[in-house]
Amino acid sequence: MSHFAAGILGTGSYVPDKVLTNFDLEKMVETSDEWIRTRTGIEERRIASEDQAASDLAYEAAKRALEAAKITAEDLDLIIVATVTPDMAFPSTACIIQDRLGAKKAAAYDTSAACAGFLYGIVQASQFIQTGVYRHVLIIGVEVLSKIVNWKDRNTCVLFGDGAGAVVMGRVAPGSGVRSFTLGADGSGGSLLCLPGGGSRKPLTEEGIHQGLHYLSMAGNEVFKFAVRVMNTSADEVLRKIGWEKEDVDFLVPHQANIRIIEAARERLNLPLEKVVVNLNRYGNMSSASIPVALDEAVRSGRIYEGARVILVGFGGGLTWGATSMIWDTKEQEE
């Protein structure tokens, strides 16, 4: 079977207009701007309007990524949407977007790996491209977490935001694009971060809603300890697999969950601040959307350049984690 290099040809992102600041939250729950900032690094987040669903945000990000990649929706072979807040259980949000974009020849499916979902999607897309099965794959990370957080729970409602980030992947020059990856899961920690109600285990009932089973549930301290550990080990692993030293890394684009987790990873990799992409202060934790939105902003501002050595790393509910190393190259290779 053929073997091609798979890389990102274009990026795009979209966040809702509505800004919810820490000062706004002070009026809603017993918290303070200082408490949120010192413990998380978050200052504000974006909130979708009542009539905005995951597919609406994802569609806007997808259009921008297609434009950046200089291809049309008709050129797409596959659409992967990473989300834990789909429009509905089925059809998949990917199918809704496939129709809306007019991507007539594309297969489409959703992938559920929470905050690590976008990285799972990148790795899946890479396999299709590297083996020559598909030419162009659209991967979208999108979340509308505002619809599943309990706005009376001060421990969780301050953390999350809504948004969408997308990339188009295709063939790039040999030796560039995705160079190594790791994916992992530990289902024994599944209950630490979950949405208990609404599935076949606990279908939503009046009693379940009364118990708040339709709201996100998180054991913050346990998730924090897990996150610090796997951010470090997974970044180390992708470096080891490709034979890079820590000083070879030009940019780290981490999942934007908590500034203390990002700081721990930065120190472990011995990276200066300017090599770490952080937008957590403006958006909060957007789960699967956080890495692609941060990546898009860094690319569009000219910060990430052709030939840069980039590490993407994330972790999330499942528990899941993933990381990938890539040499940034957006020039598509012909046959």
- Report d(CA 235, CA 181) in Å as an integer: 9
For 31, 162, 170, 210, the CA distances from 38, given in Å and listed in that order, are 12, 22, 41, 33
Predicted local confidence at residue 1, as pLDDT: 46
Predicted local confidence at residue 334, as pLDDT: 83
For 22, 126, 176, 188, 289, the CA distances from 141, given in Å and listed in that order, are 25, 16, 23, 25, 4
* Given 22, 95, 115, 258, the catalytic residue: 115
Examine the residue annotation and report whether 155 is marked as an active-site residue of this protein: no
Rg value, the chain, Cα: 19
DSSP secondary structure string for all residues of 175-234: T-EEEEEEEEE-GGGGGGEE--SSSSSS---HHHHHTTTTS-EE-HHHHHHHHHHHHHHH
pTM over 0.85: yes
Those residues whose C-beta lies under 8 Å from the C-beta of residue 118, and which sit 6 or more positions away, are 82, 139, 141, 165, 288, 289, 291, 292, 314
Predicted local confidence at residue 335, as pLDDT: 67
Each residue's pLDDT tens digit, 135-190:
999 999 999 999 999 999 989 999 999 999 999 999 999 999 999 999 999 999 99
pLDDT band at 123 (very low <50, low <70, confident <90, very high): very high
DSSP secondary structure string for all residues of 151-162: TT-TTTTTTB-E
Examine the residue annotation and report whether 255 is marked as an active-site residue of this protein: yes
Predicted local confidence at residue 104, as pLDDT: 97
- Nearest Cα residue to 147 out of 214, 212, 90, 197: 214
**126 in helix, strand or coil?**
helix
Residue 108's identity, in one-letter code, is: A
* Given 22, 258, 279, 285, the catalytic residue: 285
* Given 22, 255, 258, 279, the catalytic residue: 255
pLDDT band at 241 (very low <50, low <70, confident <90, very high): very high
The yes-or-no verdict on residue 308 having pLDDT over 90 is yes
Predicted local confidence at residue 164, as pLDDT: 98
Q: What are phi and psi of 122, to 5 degrees?
A: -60, -45
Report which of residues 154 and 43 the model is more confident about. Answer: 43
Q: Kindly list the structural domains of the chain, giving each domain's residue range(s) and its CATH number in brackets, ordered by start.
A: 1-335 (3.40.47.10)
What number is the average pLDDT over the span 70-97?
98
Examine the residue annotation and report whether 210 is marked as an active-site residue of this protein: no
pLDDT band at 3 (very low <50, low <70, confident <90, very high): confident
